[in-house]
Chain A
């Protein structure tokens, strides 16, 4: 199975600070169809996960544009440009290029 390694595991930030989360894959996530099936999710405390980013860099419906995704091959990044209180929670990357779909271990974003 593809292993996704997220760093850091815990991220402390102040409101308004810009932060980045890394997701590195054990294999290239570029599919033979030309797509890269890498996604980002946020799970707020006590809630279900919600999709933020799909196909590396596409913003999900209703997701604020302070979130952005980038990367290719095996290295991917989620950036939050100006953390807001509602952004606190655990962020997961997920890949669906190679069966079975796998998730990273998560990055907890907390207030400093």
Chain B
């Protein structure tokens, strides 16, 4: 059974950094592109970016490219999202997704709240 489990969220102050993790199981992690998607409290969905199966290539939403970094450790079947200089508008639920003909599997999501 495919499982994606995110962690690392919580309450963070504006300007701080935060690193989210997503542990994958039930499939060969190193065979798949992976993506991060976030959903705001108002339910707007936003694609953050993705990473190639071997970690050699990443794409980002232009508005987030300078502050967010996606990486992966295939030996640990883990996807990461490094968030820096966070802002109140980064408050959202963050989902890890497997990218196979669209986002065929999603994690349960992890909440990030940016507030002082």
Contact = CB atoms under 8 A, between A and B. Distances in A.
Contacts of A99: 59
A96 B102 contact: yes
A65 interface: no
A61 B104 contact: yes
Interface of A: 37, 39, 41, 48-51, 54-55, 58, 60-61, 90, 92, 94, 96, 99-103, 105-106
A48 B108 CA distance: 6
B27 interface: no
Contacts of A48: 95, 106-109
A39 B103 contact: yes
B32 interface: no
Given A39-B102, A55-B102, 15 more contacts: A48-B95, A49-B95, A49-B106, A51-B102, A54-B102, A94-B45, A94-B47, A100-B59, A100-B61, A101-B47, A102-B47, A103-B45, A103-B47, A106-B43, A106-B45
Contacts of B60: 100
Those 8 A-B pairs whose CB atoms lie nearest each other, nearest first:
A103-B45, A101-B47, A39-B102, A48-B106, A54-B101, A54-B102, A100-B61, A51-B104
Interface string B61-104: 11000000000000000000000000000000001000001111
B16 to A, nearest CB: 25
Contacts of B43: 90, 106
A102 B46 CA distance: 7
B116 interface: no
> Chain A CB within 10 Å — which of B62, B95, B102 has the most?
B102
Interface in B11-37: 35
Contacts of B102: 37, 39, 51, 54-55, 94, 96
B44 interface: yes
Interface in B32-56: 35, 43-47
B44 A58 contact: no
In this complex, the member of A37, A58, A103 whose beta carbon has the largest number of chain B beta carbons within 10 angstroms is A103
Contacts of A58: 101
